[in-house]
Structure formats: structure tokens, C-alpha cells
Chains A and B, each alone.
Chain A
Amino acid sequence: MNNIPPKVQNQLAMLQQVQQQLQTILQQKASFEMAAKEARKAIEELSSAKEDAVVYTTIGSVMMQKDKASVEADLNDKVETLELRVKSLEKQEKALQTKFEQLQQQIQSAVQGTAGAGAGTPPSAN
């Protein structure tokens, strides 16, 4: 680690940070996608229920009766919001991916440059 120039060390730290951020975003995206899928499935299930079906929504530890139409509307809103969040996270993911690749390239070229500069010196024994 001592042989790595400070600039590259800094870039490596940034790379790790970007990687962590990417992981967090991917986890969040997966969780939102799951929630959207669940809501879509609930809408599908509700659509097959009778118009006068008794529907409840869970609010904390209590269940409140609501009419089917309003629950459907709430679920549609929920799906819309979740899809927007997924899209926004996808944008962030792309930006971070680009940053990651750029950093990777910078580190690679820096390492190759160091190796090229040190080509004249004899290799150290492993």
C-alpha cells in the first residue's frame, strides 16, 4: 500500500465509496420494485373482487374499512409513486456506474503508468 501514490490511494478510496453508494441504491431500488410489484398484484386481486366487496386497509395495528374504489385509487397512486422513485434511483445508478467506470479507468491508467515508469528497475522478489 505504501508503494501506491497518494493520488491513486485517494481514487481507490473514492472507488470504494462509489461502490458502496451503488450497492445502497441497488438495494433501495430492489425494495421499491418489490413494493410496486406487491401493489400491482393487490390491484389485480381487487379488480377480480365484487364491486361491493368489503375492503380494509391496515393502518398501524388497526384495520379500517374502506370502499373498493378508494383503495384501488390509493394503490394506483402508490404504484405511480414507487415507479417514480425507481426511475429516479435508476438515474442515480447510471450516474454512479459512469463515475465508477471513470475512476476504474483512471486507476488502471495510473497503475499502468507507474508500472511503465518502473519498467527499468528490476522487479522485486515475491
Chain B
Amino acid sequence: MVSNLDKVDPREIQMLQQYLNEFGQEIQTYSAQLELLEQRRIESLTAVDTINTIKENPKNTVLLQIGGGASIKVKPVEEDTILLNIGSDVVVEKTCDETASYLTDRATEMEALEKKLTESISNMQKQANEIAKKIENAYKQLQTAQQKQ
């Protein structure tokens, strides 16, 4: 029986390996972005929590960490004022509620982005798995062909 098994081109395997490497690199980049987004989203939600807590107890002393495990006792000078960085080196003064709403919106946006990224990563992973299977089959075919010789 004549089959394609004996006709595996090593260059094809090399090409598939290259594709696999590229997919691997892309998955790594996307995963790093996903991690960063997750970190920023959690940071935003933590800030919302902090704002709400300070708003509820404005007279309470807050411990401000200054690094090295050291903290200083502080009290908000203006209880309902937050300075918010809105990007492009611009900082706007907002109320606690406005800031919390802005940060919550950003967190929702980031969550949606995270979902998209996760989908993309899973699709790429599927494609990479398919390529890996193809490489494995090609290697097997190559080995069979070599054994026949």
C-alpha cells in the first residue's frame, strides 16, 4: 500500500515547530497582559473599598505605609476630595462617589477585556495543541519511514 507516511518532509516539521514557537510566544505575551489587567482591576476595586471605608469613617486615623514596613498616622484633610489620575499626566479633583464610580467603570471595562483575552488565549492554545499533534504525527511517520529503510 502506498501512503504519504513515507513522504514526510523534515522541512514541514521544522515549519510546524516554528509556528508552534510563535504561538507559544503570543500566548506568553497575552498571558502577561492578562495578568497586568487582573492586577490593575484588583487595584481599582481595592481603591473603591478604601474610598468607601474612609468616607464612612472620615474622622478615623489612617496608617499610610511609607515602605520598609513603616507607616505614619494620617487623617484626610478634605474628607470628600480625591485626586484622580485620568491618564495623559492629568489629575482631576473629584468627590468620593465620583471617584468610586469612575474606578468601578474602569474595573468593569477591564473585566470585559480580560474575558476577551482569555478567549483569545484559549483559541490560541487550541491551535497550538493541533499543531503539536501534527508535529507528533509527523515525527512518528518519519520514524516509521526510517525504520523501513
Question: Which A residues form the contact surface with B (CB < 8 A)?
Answer: 35, 38-39, 41-42, 45-46, 49, 53-59, 63, 71, 75, 78, 126
Within 8 A of A (CB), among B1-51: 10
| Interchain CB contact under 8 A, A41 and B87 | yes
Measured between beta carbons, the chain A residues less than 8 angstroms from B83 are 56, 63
Within the complex, the shortest CB–CB distance from A113 to chain B, in Å, comes to 21
Measured between beta carbons, the chain B residues less than 8 angstroms from A71 are 90
Distance in angstroms between the alpha carbons of A55 and B88 in the assembled complex: 12
| Interchain CB contact under 8 A, A55 and B87 | no
Measured between beta carbons, the chain A residues less than 8 angstroms from B94 are 49
| Interchain CB contact under 8 A, A42 and B86 | yes
| Interchain CB contact under 8 A, B91 and A56 | yes
> Which of A45, A49, A58, A126 is the one whose CB lies under 8 Å from B89?
A58
A42-B90, A58-B89 are known; give 13 further A-B pairs, CB within 8 A. A35-B88, A38-B87, A39-B88, A42-B88, A45-B102, A46-B90, A55-B91, A56-B92, A57-B89, A58-B85, A58-B91, A59-B89, A126-B10
Measured between beta carbons, the chain B residues less than 8 angstroms from A56 are 83, 90-93
> 1/0 contact trace for B67-92 toward A, CB 8 Å?
00000000000000001011111111
Distance in angstroms between the alpha carbons of A119 and B87 in the assembled complex: 63
Measured between beta carbons, the chain A residues less than 8 angstroms from B85 are 58
Measured between beta carbons, the chain B residues less than 8 angstroms from A45 are 86-87, 92, 102
